[in-house]
Amino acid sequence: MDKFINVALPKGRLGEKVYDMFERAGYSCPSIKENSRKLIFENADKKVRFFWVKPSDVAIYVERGAADIGVAGKDILCEYNPEVYELLDLKIGKCSMAVAGKKGFQDDRNKTLRVATKFVNIAKKYYAEHGRDIDVIALNGSIELAPILSLSDVIVDIVETGSTLKENDLEVIEKFLPISARLIANKSSFKFKTEIIVDVQEKLSKEVDKL
């Protein structure tokens, strides 16, 4: 185990939880908790190097080998379909991909369904499987606004508790994809850093069992 392992963590609350799991699993890096402007955090003893990236970018860093392993949501993996190994379900950051619309919305199959979403590929695939003709409206945020302003008929988005929907008179029509954080690995790195990656996987797996 003479090589460093590069770990891409998703910025934000989920990433902090994920780091805590790494720490409990024996891959700690105390400097990460200090408030600093540093981008990369290293623990030379444990041969581990962490960096924070935008959650939707983790898969790109890993697929292209800038990170050997990383943690990304199942939503990102389904949307971008990166060429990576999916080694472990960390069972945190649980939520669902769902179709939602205004309360009492009835789908009129005579019309093309307008779907607003950040997850264009997931939405297309879901409706293609149902043989439903749709018009995808790609948005980058505030998806819930779309049906309220009649920009779209429904939205496809991540739903955690559903409280944002409720407050805006929207409701879940169908949850179709359970989501949680996944440990992913670059296919080439896995071949050359097998020992350390498998060690991380096994130790994190024990942490998952404790949850």
Partner 1 sequence: MNDLLKVLSQEEYISLTLRSLYSGKGYQKYRMSKFEEYDLYVKNKDFLVSDSVITFTDTNGKLLALKPDVTLSIVKNSKDIDGVMKVYYDEKVYRVSKGTASFKEISQLGLECIGEISNDIISEVLYLAGSSLELISKNNVLAVSSLNLISAVLSYANIAGDLKGQIIKLLGDKNLFAIKELLVANGVQGKAYDLVTMLVTVYGKVNSSLNALDGFVVNDATKTAVAELKSVIAKSVSLGLSADKLMIDFSVVNDAKYYNGIAFKGFIEGVPTGILSGGQYDNLMKKMNKRYGAIGFAVYLDEVSRVKGE
Q: Rule CB under 8 A: which residues touch partner 1? A: 63-65, 83-89, 185-192, 194
- 87 vs 170, beta carbon nearer partner 1: 87
- 12 vs 65, beta carbon nearer partner 1: 65
Task: Measure the CA–CA gap between 54 and 34, rounded to whole angstroms.
Answer: 19
Task: Measure the CA–CA gap between 99 and 175, rounded to whole angstroms.
Answer: 6
How far CA 8 is from CA of 54, 65, 74, 111, in Å, comes to 9, 10, 15, 43
* Residue 181: CB minimum distance to partner 1, A: 13
* Residue 5: CB minimum distance to partner 1, A: 13
3-class SS of residue 42: strand
Please report how many Cα atoms fall inside a 13 Å half-sphere around the Cα of residue 7, on the Cβ side.
29
DSSP, res 173: E
- 74 vs 118, beta carbon nearer partner 1: 74
- 25 vs 165, beta carbon nearer partner 1: 25
Please report how many Cα atoms fall inside a 13 Å half-sphere around the Cα of residue 105, on the Cβ side.
22
* Residue 102: CB minimum distance to partner 1, A: 34
Task: Measure the CA–CA gap between 78 and 86, rounded to whole angstroms.
Answer: 12
* Residue 76: CB minimum distance to partner 1, A: 14
* Residue 106: CB minimum distance to partner 1, A: 31
Closest residue by Cα to residue 28 from 195, 193, 203, 194:
203
- 87 vs 179, beta carbon nearer partner 1: 87
Question: Is the CB of residue 191 less than 8 Å from the CB of residue 84?
Answer: no
- Residue with tokens 């389904």, as numbered in its chain: 78
* Residue 66: CB minimum distance to partner 1, A: 8
- 12 vs 178, beta carbon nearer partner 1: 178
